Amino acid sequence: MINFDSVTKIYSDDSIALDSVTFDVSPKEFLSIVGASGAGKSTILKMLLAEEKPTEGAVFFERVDVGSLGKKELNLHRRRIGTVFQDFKLLPGKTAYENIAFAMEVAGRSDEEINSDVPHVLDLVDLSDKAWNFPNELSGGEKQRLAIARAIINQPDVVIADEPTGNLDPLNTEEIVQILKKINDLGTTVILTTHNKQVVDSLGKRVITLDRGRIVRDDNRGRYIL
Ligand code: ADP
């Protein structure tokens, strides 16, 4: 489904972020990418979203080179990928319900679909009782559950989560991991970047370890080893 083919990324200041990185991700896989800060994790996610282009090599999504997409195709491509970030990126002036509804409006979904899907996804992330609260009235864990609900509302093929538990305590971290697992069990491919050893070890899924832009390990049912 996703293929990184000898991807090298050198940013304008000559820093090598990725050095000939090759890996494939299958549909419905749960992949964690670990590595120290600066190892290249976010760069991999940005290439998949085609926010950055490879200096050498190519990134394929269902055999299409994402670096070659035009503006319109790029929008469609990005809609197939739900994103979750460490700092949530919620809209502060909208309630939990409205944050999710807005993502559906932007994707051109009807009011009927919005009215039926938003309560369902709020229930999935256990936030039904916070539907009318604003982000600043939610705890960190609740904010991240809302961000996940928004990421999956348009039924993407892939969810990418960039350090989603970076700002959370262990209890909330475990909750987020369980929700990502549930989403994966329901059939969505998940790609997670993390620093957190506990997260990776408790998942027991595939782990790619990056070190200064190179893949140094790629283990099925891996553990966090640096
Ligand atoms: P990680 O997510 O593992 O912390 P990144 O992918 O953010 O790593 O960064 C990998 C390397 O690329 C680092 O050395 C970082 O400083 C560099 N880098 C990332 N983004 C840029 C950029 N926009 N311009 C220049 N260098 C960058």
Rounded CA separation 103/150 (Å): 7
Domain-embedded: residue 99:
no
pLDDT recorded at residue 172: 95
* Residue found by looking up tokens 């491919």 in the block: 189
Residue 100: inside a domain: no
Query: Would you say residue 34 lies in a domain?
Result: yes
Q: What is the pLDDT of residue 222?
A: 72
In a domain, 206, yes or no: yes
Would you state the structure tokens that stand for residue 81, as one six-digit string? 């990928």
Atom 6 in ligand 1: residue holding the nearest Cα:
40
- Is residue 61 in some structural domain? yes
What is residue 226's predicted lDDT score, i.e. its pLDDT?
63
| Mutation test residue for ligand 1: of 43, 210, 214, the one with most atoms within 8 Å of CB | 43
Containing domain of residue 212, as a range?
2-91+138-219
Residue 204 in domain: yes
In a domain, 96, yes or no: no
Q: Which of 129, 115, 121 is nearest to 147 (CA)?
A: 121
Helix (H) or strand (E) holding 75: helix 71-79
Q: What is the pLDDT of residue 133?
A: 98
Residue 111 included in any domain: no
Q: What is the CATH number of the domain that holds 164?
A: 3.40.50.300
Please report the DSSP string for 116-168 in residue order.
Answer: HHHHHHHHHTT-GGGTT--GGGS-HHHHHHHHHHHHHTT--SEEEEESTTTT-
| Residues 128-168: tens digit of each pLDDT | 999 999 999 999 999 999 999 999 999 999 999 999 999 99
**Ligand 1 pocket: which of 8, 10, 15 to mutate (most atoms <8 Å of CB)?**
15
Number of domains within the chain: 1
